[in-house]
Amino acid sequence: MKTLIRKGIVLPTLLMVMALSMTLVGCTTEVEKIVEVEKVVEVEKVVEKIVEIVPEKEKREIVFSGLNWDSALVQNAVARYIVENGYGYPTSQIEGDTVPMFQGLRKGDVDLAMEIWLPNQNAVWDEAVAAGEVLPVGKSLEDNWQSSFLIPAYVHEEYPDLDHVEDLKEDKYKELFAEPDSGGKAVLYGCIAGWACRGVQEGTEVGPGQIEAYGLSDHVELRDPGTGGALAAAVEGAVAKGDPILFYYWGPTALMHNVDEYDLGQPDPSDCQANDPVHGCAFPAAEIMIAMNMGLVDDAPELISFFRKWDWNATNQLAAEGFYNDNKDNYDTVEEAYSASGVNYLKNNDGWKDWLPSEELAKVEAALANES
């Protein structure tokens, strides 16, 4: 604010103000005091908070590799029941042979495989892991044995000199295992076309295979039974009649638990490069892995810890497969029989409960309580 003082008018103005003040004082006897009262009003501030509720992400379907033999399909049944009822994921399976199923796992058409057999699949397995396409998340079966050159023990008892693959080059032993359509060669009921072990027997780009490496190409016909069930049936049929048979199989399995077999001698796995039997030696002990496609690793990482604790030892395997073999004819479909075998295992064994967190365990147990 500016103050204006003009020369010549300041004194008269001052005198007038003084006179007015005296007049006011003379006219009143009371002095009024003006008191300002400050009123404080409390204001309640209401803040509306908007909370956005994000719906739980829908869990996608998990596709299992339906490898076409008992141990894999029984394991699938157990794992699928737990994944569905404990973790809330819908599941399905695609059935097929080893080679196409592993390619499906690499591409993401299949999410999870319960049995990757090594060394049978060494080359493609190492390649897929190195490429970041699959992740080993646990061990499946305990170490298994397998052999391409098994005979029933009663055959060896009758022919004690028949104890090595080299003996199959002798005419008398070729004739022992020959069939009318084999041209005089011994028939070997081998791995199924599409199983990785088939390449070990007949050769791949990695090595010549056992038949050629042992010099048996002119003496042994490698025959494809068509399915794992047909292979088992051929062995069971021959044993039931006491006939000679030369065959591939593996264990522990329910069939080999009931059959007394003799394994013909072969070069030791240590004689082969990287212990790989495709170069011409016996199978080493098989390591069987559980593997996930990397897409499933991203979508369901909580399953990794579950499968890392998975323990399908021989006791579990034989019990579950035994139930399946004893009861499969009571169901309309093979899948129903495998599913029932999985439920039976879960209801009658407790070891699997250590694989799960408490919340998921409670959900599985609740589901089992409703099973008839």
Taking CA atoms, 288 is separated from 5, 148, 179, 313, 355, in Å, by: 108, 18, 34, 11, 18
- Tokens 């500016």 sit at which residue? 2
Dump the DSSP string for 88-100.
---EEEEEE-HHH
Contact 131, 122 (CB under 8 A): no
Query: Which segments in the chain show pLDDT lower than 50?
Result: 1-32
- Measured CA to CA, the distance from residue 346 to residue 332 in angstroms comes to 21
d(CA 88, CA 96): 26
Q: pTM score > 0.85 for this model?
A: no
d(CA 296, CA 83): 13
Main-chain dihedrals φ then ψ at residue 238, nearest 5 degrees: -65, -45
DSSP class of residue 329 equals G
pLDDT of residue 48: 61
367: tokens are: 């589901």
Structure confidence by residue, pLDDT tens digits, 18-55? 444 444 344 444 444 555 555 555 555 555 666 566 56
CATH architecture of 62-143+286-369: 3-Layer(aba) Sandwich (3.40)
DSSP string, 115-164: EEEETTTHHHHHHHHHTTSEEEEEE-BSPBEEEEEEEEHHHHHH-TT--B
| Residue 57: per-residue pLDDT | 76
Question: Measured between alpha carbons, how far is 120 from 60 in angstroms, rounded to an integer?
Answer: 31
Q: What is the pLDDT of residue 35?
A: 52
Other C-beta atoms lying within 10 Å of the C-beta of residue 68: 18
Return residue ranges of the chain for CATH 3.40.190.100.
145-279
CATH architecture of 145-279: 3-Layer(aba) Sandwich (3.40)
| Cα 13 to Cα 250: distance, rounded to the nearest angstrom | 126
**CATH 3.40.190.10 domain position(s) in the chain:** 62-143+286-369
pLDDT (tens digit per residue) in 232-264: 999 999 999 999 999 999 999 989 999 999 999
pLDDT of residue 52: 63
The pLDDT value recorded for residue 112 is: 98
The reported pLDDT for the residue numbered 267 is 98
